[in-house]
Each structure stands twice: as C-alpha cells, then as structure tokens.
Structure 1
Amino acid sequence: MKLLVNIDHVATLRNARGEGYPDPIEAARICEGAGAAGIVFHLRGDRRHIRDEDVYRLKDSVRGKLDFEMAASDEMLDICTKVDPHLCTLVPEGREELTTEGGLKMETVFDDFKNRVFPKLRKTDIEISLFLDPNPEDIQLAHELGTDAIELHTGTFANASEGKKQHELTRLRKAAKMINELGMKANAGHGLNLENLPDLLETVPNLNEVSIGHALISKSIYWGLERTVKAYLETIEDFYG
C-alpha cells in the first residue's frame, strides 16, 4: 500500500503572505525523497491554494505518481488533459466549503460523467478515480461508468465519536472489498492522521493507496517534513510490511 502526500496546504501558507515561499514543489521533492510514492494536489476553481503555475511545475518535477484532484468542470478537464497526470481524482467542490465535505453523489452526476467527463478523459492515458462515500449504490454506479479507482472518503470515520467509529470502519471495509471484487482499485483519504491511520489499516486490508495532506503538513511544522513522511510510512509498514 502506497502513501501519496497532498501538498495543498504548503501553498496555503505561501499564499497567506503573497510570498514565493514555502514552495509546494520543494515540499513535493522532500516528500518523495523521504519515500512517498507520489504527490496529490487539488486545483480548485477559486485557486485558494494550488495555482496553475504550480500544476505545471509539479508535472515537471514529480518523479512518482501525480494525482490531480479536481471538480469535473470544463476548465479543469482542459487543464488536466494538457498536464497529463498519472491519475485524475474527481471530487465535489463547493465554493464556501473549508475542505471537501463528502463524496460525489453518483445518481446526480452519472449522466454528466458518462456523456461529457469520461469521454474526454478516456482520450488520454490518465487513470480516473472518483471520490466517494462508502455507499454500495455509489460504488456500483462508479463501476458502471468504468472508473479505474475509487478513493473512499474517510472523513466521516476520522470525525466519528468513539461509539460510532467502528461502524464507519465496517462501512469502509465492506466498501473496499466490494471495490476490489468489481475489479477497481480502492484508495482512501480525508481526515487521516497518525492517530487514526492504524485503525483504518487494521480494519480495511484491501487498500491500494492513502492520500494524506492536512495532518501531515501540520505535523511537519514541529517535526520537519522528512521525519513526518517517514513516520507515516513506518505506520503503513507495520501493517503491510
């Protein structure tokens, strides 16, 4: 199982002062040097953290997997096909949200994805991933679309009370099993940190990748980026060897 590091909030800190530092591309280099298998970024419509120039610089500099998170707008589809990342993860995006608040509602987006989004991305070699809550109905519709992977939204688990945490882990375990049985890759992300990641890995054995950003970047303020990435890798290795 691989660790992908989301470097969005390095750009958030940079943008707070309008300076050229800290540089998210340098952060990506350090993460990969510490052993991360790849880098995730989310180019939002409002450009609140990652900017267009960052995207092209990441494409030129990242040596591992590059995962382009985005809303399925025509603007983002055009940029994504030009950049040609390894993976495109389609996520819902609300202008007022602080961060992505949940998975795609497949009944709502199915026809649009089938007729507009997937045909454009399928003209490239970019793998497609959909960011979904662990709902069987959404997973089945994603399979019908022919998506390559599903990133399971782990935010509900991460924020659950102790009494509800096991219920959410069970949902994630069943969802990952279903995804694998349908021939898709099961990824996971959102709200994961060094405290809750072991519970996820112990309960959900069928994951291909985890994407971790905010907690990792926050911890690196105290520990440094290299040490923090290695701590996450050690946690993963405890379960996956």
Structure 2
Amino acid sequence: MSLAKLSVNINKIATLRNSRGGNNPNVLQIALDCERFGAQGITVHPRPDERHIRYQDVYDLKGQIQTEFNIEGNCQEEKFVELVLTNKPTQVTLVPDALGQITSNHGWDTIKHQNYLQDIIAVFKQEGIRVSIFVDPNPEMVEAAKTTGTDRIELYTESYAVNYHQDKEKAILPYVKASEMANKVGLGINAGHDLDLQNLQYFAQNIPGLLEVSIGHALICDALYLGLENTIQRYLYQLK
C-alpha cells in the first residue's frame, strides 16, 4: 500500500472567493472540512498579487489547521520568506516561480542554484521547518538536490499527466528513475501538478518511497460534480 499522504491545495477556493469579494466560499472553513473529510494536509501557494491565497489567509489557517500545513512559493520574494518564518508551517515547498506566473511550470536547476538553495534552506531549517524543493524528473537534478540540505523534493508531474493517456509506462519512466535516485541519496519524495483521479493511482503504485501528493485544481474541479467529501475519499482511495 502507498504511504503517500494527500495534501489538498485550496488556491482555487480562494480564487473563487476573490472573484466576488466577501468571504464566500470561506477558505478557512473549506480547509477544515477537507481535514474532516480525510485530507492529511492543506497546501497553499500565496503569490505577490494575492490573486488567490492572500497573506492573511496563511495567518488564519495556521491557527486552525490540525494536519500538516504546507506553504508553497517563491523564496526569492522577501515577503514570502517572512510569511513562512512567522507562521512556521510543517513544510515549506520552494518553487522557482517568476512574477506574474499563472502556475508553476518547472523545477529548480539544483546545480546552477546550489549555493543559493543551501543558504535559503538553512534559514528555514534553523526554524524547524521541513523543506521540500520543486524539481523536474531528472536524476542529475535530484542528486544535486541532496547537496542543498533539503529534506524532500517535489517531483513536478505535468509531463507525466500530459503523456499518461498516450503511453503511461513511458510517461512514468523518468519519475521512477528520479525517485530511485532520491531513495539512493536519502531524500523524501513529494509530487504534484495535474495529478487527478485518472492518473494518480498508477503514479503512486510505481514511485517507490512516495510520501505526499499535493493536489488542487483537478480535485476542486471534480468536487463540482462529485461533492468535496466524496472527491477527497476518491483521491485517498487512489493512494491505497
């Protein structure tokens, strides 16, 4: 059985709220409901323009979340670093986003940015925060990630999701090789981006040592048809 935990990314809930103003849907209540329905973690990815998760949401959530709290974001933004250090989540996931980027679309070059990552990761770990860094399924980048001091990597799974229906064995192969390297060098493995009810089970079954998946967009879309509680239960089932 997979040991992977399901962390629900609630950015899309915040996007819906922000489109009308006010507090409907209530981001904090949705997060608590996700926990109540079985989610083992809550993920947020605040961005400088606050187009979905607002900085205040992070403060509100920190005081209420009972499962693991994961804050994703661009650590090159000073305000993001301050936000994480103040709230001290279970985990911070460092993503090399550009300003104004719609969604994350690549991992760190852990060779080119090795020194920078070593320095910023040490800042978070000194405060007792577990660190994960976003990487592409490249064994060389995974091996170099070990030298940064990170606790985990998060495999960026868009290419797997895009190619899954054409040839799932070919699509999963780079991720198997990357995960084997992570296991070899002693890094924990997270994964996320475009994982859904169709491709999640195969991914979880074939990635040795998978600890956590972070899923937002597909899960919230499914919840429109299936209901939030039923959807979370279905995703948890895919991980078993």
Work out whether 1:4 is the aligned partner of 2:10.
no
2:55 maps to which residue?
52
> 5 Å matches for 1:71-220?
71-72=74-75, 73-115=77-119, 117-160=120-163, 162-220=165-223
Residue 47 of structure 1 and its aligned partner are, at CA, apart by: 1.2
Work out the CA distance in 2 between the residues paired with 1:176 and 1:224.
33
Work out the CA distance in 2 between the residues paired with 1:141 and 1:45.
29
Q: How many residues align?
A: 236
* Alignment gaps of 5+ in structure 1: none
Report the secondary structure of 1:108's partner residue.
coil
Q: Is the 8 A contact 1:219 1:228 kept in 2?
A: yes
2:237 maps to which residue?
234
Report Cα offsets for 1:43-66 as digits up to 9, x if no partner. Answer: 112211000110011101110000
Q: Is the 8 A contact 1:102 1:155 kept in 2?
A: no
Report the secondary structure of 2:70's partner residue.
strand
Work out the CA distance in 2 between the residues paired with 1:58 and 1:129.
20
1:31 maps to which residue?
34
* Alignment gaps of 5+ in structure 2: none
Identity score, percent: 38
Report the secondary structure of 1:145's partner residue.
coil
Q: Is the 8 A contact 1:3 1:233 kept in 2?
A: yes
Residue 121 of structure 1 and its aligned partner are, at CA, apart by: 1.3
When the two structures are superposed, what TM-score results if normalisation uses the length of structure 2?
0.94
Structure 1's 109 and 189: CA in aligned 2 closer, same or farther, altered over 3 A? same
